[in-house]
A and B are shown apart, each in its own frame.
Chain A
């Protein structure tokens, strides 16, 4: 069994699976049970400033979208930061940390964008013995209207400024949590780095409306006939999150900045993918809210087994391994030519590949009277749509054509050399053809 012990910013935890700042980490009772279940660390539910806490709605706060068999694919929420008094949270954090010294405990904080507010709260957080802080610049609803959360996260100058205050008044690691509700994620990440952040974490939730009740004409979740956009999370957001993570990881300005990956992580494989794209650890919320704390057992055993198979002895060994392979479209090898291939033994003859290719793509799959489906190499552009719609995993594969053979679609020889769009004759901006 590979050792999953992870060192992130000098904070060690028995595994790279932390619970993200959210309801699962809102109180001592939850966090103790999470640690007993095996979670490596928690980012405590976001703390607000001293004084009367925020109030949440008293009606439904979540909406969802589903896949087959009501499998939850996406969750949205209109919850705010913790609605419990600061003092209570701080006391609980201190107690839990002293009882679980081997686990990571991070305080998430969101206070107004004024130096005094941060100066006041940071020493109190430090007293709890928490291992670090995470700045919540991501919450897209409720708090942003008050000039906090994503309202700050969308302005790189504010991020840099607040991060700098934190580095001034707090001496343990500072993680800046980024909102995805922005066009270019590299900007806030760079701002965080410039402000002295030790790491960024992402993504927070995405502005969303999950459904509309067609009887009442109210968005869901509906509070007395009205709804508000909420923050979207769960498996559906994983691709968006991974893209953003990779952008930060490969941007020369932020390359090497530690990242805590968040967004739709549900299984060990999701976690491994985020780590391969440059994350030093991962955070989980929706999966735990959907299935309970026990899922960490699957994550830990699955990751460990895969690491054994690959010969990795530490999570560190594969952090960022996929980053060099993330490139821009224009650098993709246009001389790489593939054709779809259907394994007739696995094919169950549903005809989905045929319908998809015939109706919406390149008419490159033939169907015989007795339902044999075959790829027509003369037409196949290797778009992968058939692979994606086939219900049998591994039934259709993409086979690379060997250099020297002739692509029956174009009649051209498959070249061995790498050639991309920047060199292509059709590109008006191509470098002078050498």
Chain B
């Protein structure tokens, strides 16, 4: 603990190795078998269960919980994975409080849902620890499909296509597959390198080759080239760009993109050596802002503030995520927007302006406040980048109809890069899977 929490500047080693280890341990520790049995017993096996409707991948939740009750966690895992091949990651990262668990009849009745996410994790962990892959490929079809982007959407699509007998090549610009599962999701949600373990397990189906460090665009792959070489193309490139802050002093050292900061933390070999500011201010109100803020705090920042330009209820991050942040000591500040980053050579302070909504439009009130800030993390949204020009957009995302069909024949898109659906891991999986089914139907027609 060379520096402690109060040393100014962006420094590594603010906490002891024990503190770091505790801080980055599992957010929701896995159930022991007895806990799983007790939790599973609470499920009522509802008819046409509302939780299933709320799950973007339509997992048969009452069935898999009943399989756990009956001592068949492997069977439960198969029920989950047959709908959602990344059921292991989803069990860890789904905001269940706004999905399946929000509508669980026991949440509605008692304010205490069946803990579906943790039960899902219990079942999938059992299967994945056994190392078995329960799915087999159908007879080879001779069709070849290119998937661009190895995030949840791309992986889910590739797995389903391979299962249906097609050959799949996945290209990804990053050195490792996984997309935001690997570079984005909070470390305390996917401990023990789970993202890579899951990718390895998924690829056991066979018929999928993964080529990393290969990008679409920028002199690399072209859409026309892919269309020529493959029978179909699935684009799952996520949101690779980041929005600009448009505040003075944004270019000063000490100001970073939150997604870069998060990716660095996820990729760090030794978190003890990972630098963080003493006073961290995160700009934004989504899951990324919360993750960046919590990570800063867990790394040992003395003060961490999330500055959001609207009120708490407008925040993209759920109540659960907000509470998580405050429970870790993060301060949430509402109705403020960044005006200027101050500092001689490096950032030392941030000036925020209060906001108010006048006639439906958000405006600065003129009143400002200055906070010490040796590190400023910008989390004001990611945006689509590197889309081939041929594709029509809907707003700022790729326009799709049905199960991910784009405006270009033979090209599908899904996940964060495609219009529609929330930007969530589970939604990306659903869209990848459904696109695969549509591609298969089209190729067989």
> Which of these, B41, B47, B106, B109, contacts A351 with CB under 8 Å?
B47
Whether a CB of chain B sits under 8 angstroms from the CB of A414 is: no
Confirm or deny: A69 has a beta carbon within 8 angstroms of a beta carbon on chain B.
yes
Does A240 interact with chain B (Cβ within 8 Å)? Answer: no
Nearest chain-B residue to A389 (Cβ)? B44
Contact between B44 and A391, CB atoms less than 8 A apart:
yes
Q: Which of B99-120 contact A (CB under 8 A)?
A: 105-106, 108-109
Inter-chain contact B41/A348, CB cutoff 8 Å: no
**Bound complex: CA A371 to CA B103 (Å):** 12
- A-facing mask of B1-45, CB < 8 A → 1, else 0? 000000000000000000000000000000000100110011011
**CB atoms of B47 and A69 under 8 A apart:** no
> B270 at interface (Cβ–Cβ under 8 A)?
no
B residues 44-68 in Cβ contact with A at 8 Å:
44-50
A349 touches B38 (CB 8 A): no
B47 touches A355 (CB 8 A): yes
Q: Which of A68-82 contact B (CB under 8 A)?
A: 68-70
Tell me the smallest distance from the CB of B18 to a CB of chain A, in Å: 35
Task: Report the Cα distance A348→B45, complex, angstroms.
Answer: 13
Query: Which residue of B is nearest A354, CB measured?
Result: B47
Q: Across the interface, which residues of A come within 8 angstroms of B38, CB to CB?
A: 69-70
- Number of A interface residues in the complex (CB < 8 A): 14
Q: A318-357 interface mask toward B, CB cutoff 8 Å, 1 = contact, 0 = none?
A: 0000000000000000000000000000001111101100
For B34, the chain A residues whose CB sits under 8 A away are 70
Does A2 count as interface, using CB distance less than 8 angstroms?
no
- Say whether A406 faces chain B, with CB atoms less than 8 Å apart: no
Question: A70 — which chain B residues lie within 8 A by C-beta?
Answer: 34, 37-38
State which size class the interface on B falls in.
10 to 19
Q: Are A367 and B48 in contact, with the CB atoms below 8 A?
A: yes
| Contact partners of A385 in chain B: CB under 8 A | none
| B41 x A350 contact (CB < 8 A) | no
A350→B44 contact, CB < 8 A: yes
Q: Nearest-CB distance from B53 to chain A (Å)?
A: 10
Q: Determine whether A392 belongs to the interface, using a CB cutoff of 8 Å to chain B.
A: yes
Interchain nearest-CB distance for A380 vs B (Å): 18
A-B contact count (CB 8 A): 36
Determine whether the beta carbon of A392 is less than 8 Å from that of B109: yes
- Given A348-B105, A348-B109; A69-B41 close (CB under 8 Å): yes
What B residues does A69 contact at CB under 8 A? 37-38, 41
Cβ of B41: which chain A residues have Cβ within 8 Å of it? Answer: 68-69
Assembly CA distance A352 to B38 (angstroms) = 20
**CB distance A348 to B48 under 8 Å?**
no
Contacts A355-B47, A371-B50, A391-B44 given: A350-B37 contact, CB under 8 Å?
no
**Chain B contacts for A392, CB-based, 8 A:** 109
Q: Which residue of A has the minimal Cβ distance to B106?
A: A348
In the bound complex, do residue B45 and residue A352 qualify as a contact, i.e. CB atoms below 8 Å apart?
Answer: yes
B-side contacts of A367, CB under 8 Å: 47-48
Q: Distance (Å) between the CB of B51 and the closest chain A CB?
A: 11
Nearest A-chain residue to B40, judged by Cβ:
A68
| Contact between chains at A352 and B47 (CB < 8 Å) | yes
| Chain B residues with CB under 8 A of A391 | 44
Complex Cα–Cα for A348 and B47 (A): 12
Q: From the candidates B42, B46, B106, B109, name the one contacting A352 in the complex (CB within 8 A).
A: B46
Interface positions of A from 102 to 129, Cβ below 8 Å from B: none
Contacts of B47 in A (CB 8 A): 350-352, 354-355, 367
Q: Are A351 and B48 in contact (CB under 8 A)?
A: yes
Residues in A neighbouring B49, C-beta threshold 8 A:
351
B contact residues around A354 at 8 Å (CB):
47
CB distance from B104 to the nearest CB of A (A): 10
Residues of A within 8 A of B45 (CB): 352
**Interchain CA distance A349-B34 in the complex, whole Å:** 28
- Whole-angstrom CA separation of A68 from B108 in the bound complex: 21
Residue of A nearest to B34 (CB): A70
* Beta-carbon contact of B108 and A348 below 8 Å: yes
Of A68, A349, A352, A355, the residue contacting B50 (CB under 8 A) is A349
Residues of chain B contacted by A68 (CB below 8 angstroms):
41-42
Contact with A along B360-401 (1 / 0, CB 8 A): 000000000000000000000000000000000000000000
* CB pair B37 A352 closer than 8 Å: no
* Bound Cα distance from A351 to B49, whole angstroms: 8
> Given the complex of chains A and B, what is the CA–CA distance between A69 and B69 in angstroms?
10
The distance from the CB of B45 to the nearest CB of chain A, in whole angstroms, is 7
Interface centre among B34, B42, B44, B49 (most CB of A within 10 A): B44
Q: Complex Cα distance A70/B38, Å?
A: 8
Per the bound structure, the CA–CA distance linking A354 and B109 in Å amounts to: 18
How far apart sit A421 and B109, CA to CA, in the bound complex (Å)?
43
C-alpha spacing A364/B106, complex, angstroms: 25
Contact with A along B331-351 (1 / 0, CB 8 A): 000000000000000000000
CA distance A391 to B105 in the complex (A): 11
A349 with B37: in contact, given A355-B47, A371-B50 (CB under 8 Å)? no
Q: How far is the CB of B106 from chain A (nearest CB, A)?
A: 7
Cβ-closest chain B residue relative to A356: B47
In the complex, the answer to whether A351 meets B46 with C-beta atoms within 8 Å is yes
Residues in A with CB closer than 8 Å to B48 are 351, 367, 371
Chain A residue at smallest Cβ distance from B46: A350
- Closest approach, in angstroms, between the C-beta of B356 and any C-beta of chain A? 38
Q: Which residue of the partner chain A has the closest CB to B53?
A: A371
Against B, the Cβ 8 Å flags (1 = close, 0 = not) of A362-385 are 000001000100000000000000
User: Which of A70, A350, A352 gathers most chain B CB within 10 Å?
Assistant: A350
B296-338 vs A, Cβ < 8 Å mask (1 yes, 0 no): 0000000000000000000000000000000000000000000
Cα–Cα distance between A421 and B317 once the two chains are bound (Å): 66
Does B44 lie within 8 Å of A349, measured CB to CB? Answer: no
Interchain CB contact (< 8 A) of B108 among A349, A351, A352, A355: A349
The distance from the CB of B108 to the nearest CB of chain A, in whole angstroms, is 6
Cα–Cα distance between A391 and B41 once the two chains are bound (Å): 12
* A/B interface sample: 6 pairs, CB < 8 A: A348-B105, A349-B46, A350-B44, A350-B46, A350-B47, A351-B49
Task: Give the B-binding residues of A (Cβ under 8 A).
Answer: 68-70, 348-352, 354-355, 367, 371, 391-392
Known: A68-B42, A352-B44. 11 other contacts (CB 8 A): A69-B38, A70-B37, A348-B106, A348-B109, A349-B50, A349-B105, A349-B108, A351-B48, A367-B47, A371-B48, A391-B44
Which 10 residue pairs across A and B have the least CB separation, nearest first?
A351-B47, A68-B41, A355-B47, A348-B109, A350-B46, A348-B105, A350-B44, A350-B105, A69-B38, A351-B46
